[in-house]
Structures are given as C-alpha cells and as structure tokens.
A and B are shown apart, each in its own frame.
Chain A
Amino acid sequence: MALAAEAFMTQLAAAEPWPENAALYQQLKDEQILLSDNASSLAVQAFLQMCNLPVRVVCRANAEYMSPSGKVPFIHVGNQVVSELGPIVQFVKAKGHSLSDGLDEVQKAEMKAYMELVNNMLLTAELYLQWCDDVTVEEITHLRYGSPYPWPLNRILSYQKQWEIRRKMKAIGWAGKSLEQVLEDVDQCCQALSQRLGTQPYFFNKQCKGLTFQYRRLVPKIRPTELDALVFGHLFTILTTQLTSDELSEKVKNYSNLIAFCRRIEQQYFEGHDKDSSSSATSRSAKRSLLR
C-alpha cells in the first residue's frame, strides 16, 4: 500500500515545478533541537542549496509530530510533505533535479554505501550520546527536548523518547557499548570518510555542465552530491555544538581535510544566507552553540 502511494506521489511530484514558498520544518533552533536532528536538518538544507532550490526554514515545537515519519526535518512543497533525506532526494529527483545523475553504477553503489555508513555509525553515535550517556541526558537532553511544553509533559515526552531510543539501541547491539567504544566507532567512521575524501574537494568529483573561473583559468565545474550534503550536515553540527565534553568534536578535528571540506561547503553554500555571521566551523571563539 505504501509503495503504491509512493509511486503515485512521484507522479504528482513530477507534474509541478518547485514552488517559491517551499518550507523546511524543524524543532526550535535555540531551545529545543538536539544534535542528531540538527545534523539531519542541516544535511537537507545543504542538499537543497546544492540543487539551487529555495527553501525557508520554519521552526516549530511540534515538528516531530507533524512529520509523516516522525522524524525531522520534513519539507512542505506545494501540497506534499516529505521527510528525511532519502525520500527528499527521491522527491527532488522526480521534479527533475539530481546531483548524482552523472555518476556511473559503481559510483552510485559507493555513494549509497557511504551514506549508510554515516547513518549507521555517525547518526547512531549521536543518538547514543544524546539519549544513553547519563551525563549528557541529564544536563542537556532532558532540558532541551521538552522545553516548549509545561511540566510534567516535558519530562514525560523526554522519558518516553529516551525509552524508545534505548530499546532501539538494545535491538541493534549498541546498548552494551561504553562511551569510549562509541567514540572509537566515530573515529573509525571519520577516518574512513577522510581516507575516501583524500585531497579532493568533494567525495565524487564528477564534472558537470558549465565552467567556473579558478586559478585564472576556466575549468569545468565540479558539483557535490547528496553524500557531501549528508557528511557536511553531521560533521558541521558535531564541530559547532557544545556538549558536556569536547570528546566528540575532537575526534572530527583530528582530520584536517574534513574540517577544510566543511569550511568549503559552508563558504560556498551558506555564506550570505546565514545572518548569524559570527558562526563558523573553525572559529573557536564564536562557536555556535545549541546550549543556552
């Protein structure tokens, strides 16, 4: 049933062009949103910027409940609502915009594999840190997650979500891991990403139509793909979020090419759009913090 509905939606999506009033919904930026949701939201924003599709970010306290899949972010385009990066990429592709068209089959397989790596390791590690590490849970998560709601609803929602995430961690075998092991996994993931990226500007350097002026010459443009958007979303959020300790961001900072990658994408796609001009991945003094 859901597959038939999806096929129907794709047909509908293909019919209309991208409207000017597309909106991306996420939780409240300063008080409520958590590390993992912020990373996912930033990944989608980066992807839409890379496709040159305008979208405005709308912050709502109940974004999670509005979402069709229960996860943020979701986009409201025309009369359709699509959540999570995977389905959004498919939706945007149905409208005729794609970042990974020029890749061959083997490269597409590699791209999907790396996206699963980020979801499997980085996202799960973020969820673990937010919901299973007692210090972070007490000092940050419980305070932020239910903050728009009055007591006792804020605590109830928070505990309910924690219970749900802990069940999932137990099912996939992460409940028995210690924080050090999780950080080691993050390190392994960052190492893999760093090795794959190497000295290239993006993960897949496919040349696309058009030329750009670089080093006093006209050179073919290289476009990023959705993998770049996803990696940027997660790494930038990890680097710029203040948690109880710096261990997580230190793991990413060990890899200078990843920091340069985040800086490059930020400069190219977010500078000028971001009114909060003091935030920058590398500026230590003006760290954009999600903590009050």
Chain B
Amino acid sequence: MAAPMELSCWGGGWGLPSVHPESLTVMAYAKFSGAPLTVNAINNCWRAPKGEVPILISEDTVISQPAKILNFLRKQKYNADYELSAKQGADTLAYIALLEEKLLPALLHTFWVEAENYCSVTKPWFASRIPFPLSLYLPGKMSREALNRILLTRGGPPLYSLTEVEAQIYRDAKECLNLLSKRLGTSQFFFGNRPSTLDAFVFGFLAPLYKVCFPRVQLQEHLKQLPNLCRFCDDILSCYFRLAVSGHSPAGQDTVDANLQKLTQLVNKESNLIEKIRLSLFLCRWTTTFVRVLSIPLES
C-alpha cells in the first residue's frame, strides 16, 4: 500500500535494538503500529551520519525528527493511537512534554556529560560506529551539544555551578520517573492494553537508561527501584522486539554485558594502537624525506 520506508538510525547493544532514545522511540512506534520499516543501523561505513538521526526515507521524502516521523507514519495510516479518546490524546502530548523537560536533561547528562560514562561507554560505542576521521570529532560534538542544551535550558541563576545544575536535573528526573510510575500503576501500557505513542516515547527514553551498563548509575538505580517501569520495558522488548530479557538471570546478563564492555574496550584500545602505529610510520617517512631533502645541499 505505502512506498517502502527506510529508517536510518543508531544501532543496538546491551539487549536493545538501538541505544539512541529517539531512534528507539521511532522503532517502537513502528512495531506498535505495524509499519513495515527497513531499519538501517549506522555502522562503520562511509555513509556517515550528518545532522539529525533518526532519518526516515520514503521515496523522495526525507523526514528527520521523531515527532515528524510519527506524524508521517500516521498519515500513511499506521496509527497506534486510533483507539485513544480525545482526552487521552491530550494526555499523551502533556506527558511527552514532561519527559522532554524533566527527564531528557538527566538522560543527556548520563550519556554525554558525565565524564566516566562518556569516556568508558558512550564515546567508544559511538566512535566504533562512525568511520575515521569523523569518529574523532562527532562524539565530541554530540557531547558539547548535550552540555550546551543542559546549561542553556536549566543552567540559569540561582544555580551557578555545574554541580548544582546536575543535582537539580537529577532531582527532576527522579521526580519524573516517580510520576510516570504512578501514572502507569499496574496496567500493562499507559492507555489500556494496547501500546500507543506515549508508550513509544516512554520506552525510548527509559530503555537505554535501564539497560546500558554505566559506571555512574544513580538514575539507573532509581529506575530499578520502580518495578512497574522495568516490567514495562521488559514486556515491550520481549513482545515487540523478541529480544532476550534480563529479568530472569540478571547476574548472567550482567557478566555478559561486562564481558562485552571489556571486549569493546580491548577492540578500541587495539584500534587506537593501530592508529598510533600508522601515525608514527607516517611521521617516520616524513622525517626521512625531510632529512634526505636537507642532506642534498650537504652532499653537493
């Protein structure tokens, strides 16, 4: 019925189809609404991501932000919200605004600004999926943009230092998680038994926080104390993405994740080493040429 649609987004890890919140939101909505989407994970090839990710390409149309992509899918008759009442539709918008205002700054901070998390997890993961030389520049740019966003939106007086801003945004994020947990209660999804746009957004924001193994995990620990939200993420992963869920053997999954992390770090160290060797060979060659050039007048 509709033209083939291709979604370009960041790939998966730690049991998730994607570790990027916005990409995950779009993928979840596509699963909920039954939209046939071909997912192309950005990997180490020369089609480097420029600008916004995720991007939906359908024939000649290129659409870039999650809200716009979801609107497009709805116009193509892939609508996960048709059973919602008008009030529930309004509630969806309100809760999405709550997520963006209260949870997103802390999420960005956990991934991109917190130094230990960024250096040991985020940067190696993203750098390994971007071709050299962009891998040296793009993760840093994304980190600076995240910090910029946090400071511009939340960093005004009376909070004058980054630690105060951090404390405030984590407090707000924990409050937001508590509110979401109260709203979800014991139901399977936010509105009845069928997932909708709000479930896609909440899943997209919570699942990376829940699954990715960070060294500094205060928000993750808070999330793990809200069992209904964890169950919500696990249910969607097992029903819609058919991926193994860590609920039954958390220790086993944790060691697998730890091993994976060590392997990733090893691979990154090796690739760093290879790059250093390449650079030193280049320098050697350059020095030899320089010396030869200098020695020509001496010989003559």
Contact = CB atoms under 8 A, between A and B. Distances in A.
B250 to A, nearest CB: 29
Interface stretch (A20-28, A55-63, A185-193, A282-290): A185-193
B55 to A, nearest CB: 15
B152 A168 contact: yes
B94 interface: yes
Given A168-B152, A171-B148, A2 B159 contact: yes
A168 B89 CA distance: 28
A15 interface: no
Q: How large is the interface on B (under 10, 10 to 19, 20 to 34, 35 or more residues)?
A: 20 to 34
Given A195-B86, A195-B89, A106 B183 contact: yes
Nearest to A189: B93
B157 A110 contact: no
B135 interface: no
B179 A113 contact: yes
B90 A3 contact: no
Given A3-B167, A113-B97, A193 B157 contact: no
Contacts of B297: none
A2 B94 contact: no
Contacts of A198: 87
A210 interface: no
A2 B149 CA distance: 21
B101 A116 contact: yes
B247 interface: no
Contact of B152 (A117, A121, A171): A171
Nearest to B180: A109
Interface in A148-187: 167-168, 171-173
A267 interface: no
Contact of B153 (A121, A171, A191): A171
B95 interface: yes
A116 B171 CA distance: 16
A2 B167 CA distance: 9
A196 B158 contact: no
B222 interface: no
A172 B153 contact: yes
B101 A192 contact: no
A1 interface: yes
Nearest to B145: A171
A81 to B, nearest CB: 10
Contacts of A173: 65
Interface in B177-192: 179-180, 182-183, 185
Given A2-B159, A116-B101, A195-B90, 18 more contacts: A2-B158, A2-B167, A2-B168, A3-B167, A108-B182, A109-B179, A109-B183, A112-B179, A120-B97, A168-B152, A171-B145, A171-B152, A172-B149, A172-B153, A188-B93, A192-B89, A192-B93, A192-B94
Interface of A: 1-3, 68-71, 105-106, 108-110, 112-114, 116-117, 119-121, 167-168, 171-173, 188-189, 191-193, 195-196, 198
Instruction: List the 6 closest A-B pairs by CB distance, nearest first.
Output: A192-B90, A113-B94, A109-B179, A117-B97, A120-B97, A195-B86
